[in-house]
Amino acid sequence: MEAVNTYRSGPDEQGHFGMFGGRYVAETLMPLILELEEAWHAARRDPAFQAELDHWARHYIGRPSPLYYAERLTQHLGGAKVYLKRDELNHTGAHKINNTVGQILLALRMGKKRIIAETGAGQHGVATATVCAKVGLPCVVYMGETDIARQAPNVFRMKLLGAEVRPVTSGSRTLKDAMNEALRDWVTNVDSTFYIIGTAAGPHPYPELVREFQSIIGRETREQMMEAEGALPDALVACIGGGSNAIGLFHPFLDDPSVAIYGVEAAGHGIESGQHAASIAGGRPGVLHGNRTYLLQDDDGQITEAHSISAGLDYPGIGPEHAWLADSGRVKYVSATDKEALEAFQLCTRMEGIIPALEPAHALAYVTKLAPTMDKDKTIVMNMCGRGDKDVFTVAEALGVSL
């Protein structure tokens, strides 16, 4: 791995982060991807676009989200001070809205008349349906049948918001298959349709633009930590499915060597069980959904099914920038099992009165290991990227409680 002066300059013009990323899409989509790239570069330089984004962030999403000192949790763990970046307090209950607001504004700029999206846990689907309702554009959300069954409340929310939820019955009937189906829709409706991808993955420029829309998390955290502690945090922790909340928190800190950074993958029943969603720990580089990244796959290059109790982490890949950050060593990727996440879920609920989504419960599970190993004058910021209302049925079932 070659030495780099900065970890924040990627991707290159071809959309590569080192060997990862790129634009591995069908020819039909290629002109659209180039058109999107052009529109995105124009928008990010346009002060009017930035002003509009800021306005929505403040008045619609409810930003800035608080940086909250989790005092009892800190005392319980007996080490570093634990701060939670409260992105679960955003409108629609997760970080996903940061990205859908950015992309819908881009879609409007491009004159697109129809929006499609894929969703796993339903959070991105809800966030997309929400912005579509606000601007009055028709919205189709592709969702795997398996996920529809385990995330019924979010399915109903999307429908209330006026979106059409199309069940995906191919493959493993989860997030990756929903993404395949969204790509098939896009290839068919190229003129009218804008595809709002929910995570920092897919063909260039998606990983970059999603990261930029989510980086507001890290930028706010920097300011808020300076205000609260007069110093940058010593460690950052975030969960990784595709990795958009994590890259949003991490990116503004990548060039601060004093900040240790941890991404937490979903280990499902344990990495050794083979039933997990940890692409870095248990996968190898491959090409899927428009980019090269770490993928769960067999020897023949066939994509294998991911498993996690959290529908939002149940994806056999990871954003390409994370793949690059893993290989470069800047970010350390660890994992937490279903069981550890469930324990952290209950701990946070009881200790702080905050019901986390199962996704950030994975991050919290790692915080419970990390904090006790650090001195009491050190600080950790964990991204509380979603709230757990959507997960109460799943958790009840896992705990053997019938509602």
Partner 1 sequence: MSETRIDRRFAALKKEGRAGLVAYVMAGDPDLETSFEIFRGLPGAGVDVIELGMCFTDPMADGPTIQVAGQRALRAGMTLRKTLDLVRRFRKEDNDTPIVLMGYYNPIYAYGNEVFLADAREAGLDGLIIVDLPPEEDSELCLPTVKAGLNWIRLATPTTDAKRLPAVLANTSGFLYYVSITGITGSASADAGVVAKAVERLRAKSDLPVAVGFGIRTPEQAADIARVADAAVVGSAFCQTVADSLDEKGRAKPDCVANVLALARALGDGVRGARA
Assess 41 for contact with partner 1 (CB under 8 A). no
Which CB atom, from 288 or from 354, has the smaller least distance to partner 1? 288
- For partner 1, the closer CB: 23 or 387: 23
Q: Report whether 322 contacts 246 (CB < 8 A).
A: yes
Identity of the residue, 272 or 300, whose beta carbon is nearer to partner 1 in the bound complex: 300
List the one residue from 302, 329, 375, 403 that touches partner 1 (CB under 8 A). 302
Nearer to partner 1, 66 or 171 (CB): 171
Cβ-proximal residues to 339 (8 Å cutoff; 6+ apart), any chain: none
Which residues inside 197-226 make contact with partner 1, applying CB under 8 A? none
Q: Which of 289, 307, 322, 387 binds partner 1 (CB under 8 A)?
A: 289
Nearest to 67 by CA among 381, 387, 385, 386: 381
Q: Which residue has the tokens 């633009």?
A: 209
Residues 6+ apart with CB under 8 A from 130: 91, 92, 97, 100, 161
Q: Which of residues 112-171 bind partner 1 (CB under 8 A)?
A: 170-171
Query: According to the binding rule CB under 8 A, does residue 110 interact with partner 1?
Result: no
Interface with partner 1, residue 31, by CB under 8 A = yes
Answer yes or no: are the C-beta atoms of 177 and 62 closer than 8 Å. Answer: no
Give how far Cα 191 sits from Cα of 38, 129, 294, Å: 16, 20, 32
Shortest approach of partner 1 to residue 20 CB, angstroms?
13
What tokens appear for 348 in the block?
């946070």
Q: Does 23 contact partner 1 by CB under 8 A?
A: yes
For position 12 contacting partner 1 by CB under 8 A, the verdict is no
The CA distance from 275 to 279, in Å, is: 11
Looking at beta carbons only, is 77 or 143 nearer to partner 1? 143
Is position 175 an interface residue for partner 1 (rule: CB under 8 A)?
no
Q: What angle do CA 22, 24, 29 make, to 5 degrees?
A: 115
CB-count exposure of residue 102 (10 Å: 0-12, 13-18, 19+)? buried
Judged by CB under 8 A, the residue of 45, 300, 353, 375 near partner 1 is 300
Binding-site size, partner 1 (CB under 8 A): 36
Give least dist CB 296 to partner 1, A. Answer: 11
Using CB under 8 A, list all residues that contact partner 1: 14, 22-32, 170-171, 176-177, 180, 183-184, 187-191, 286-290, 295, 297, 299-303
